[in-house]
Amino acid sequence: MAETTETPLWNENEPGKVESWRLHILLEAGYPVHLAERLAVSEVDLHDACEIVKRGCDHTTAAEILL
């Protein structure tokens, strides 16, 4: 009988890729690196993080609210 290998649904590299993508989006939204890194690894809603600064909230204040 031939052995079959199934592709796992979740690759161990996926969390890093997601955090990297989130970091990129937050940097594009103007967050300083130190805040973007904290937000990227958190469970903060990315859309909320971008929208709050788009509406005029300071990045530092936005991070304090979101975290």
Domain that holds residue 37: 16-66
**Cβ neighbours, 10 Å, residue 49:** 27
Q: What's the structural domain count of the chain?
A: 1
In which band, very low, low, confident or very high, does the pLDDT at 10 lie, cut at 50, 70 and 90? low
pLDDT at 47: 96
Residue-wise pLDDT for 23-65, tens only, equals 999 999 999 999 999 999 999 999 999 999 999 999 999 999 9
- 1 located within any domain: no
Specify if 38 maps to a domain.
yes
In a domain? residue 43: yes
Tokens encoding 26: 């937050």
CA dihedral 33, 36, 40, 45 (to 10 degrees): -170
25 in Cβ contact with 19 (< 8 Å)? no
> Which pLDDT score is estimated for 2?
55
Quick check: is 23 in a domain? yes
Q: Greatest CA separation found in the chain?
A: 63
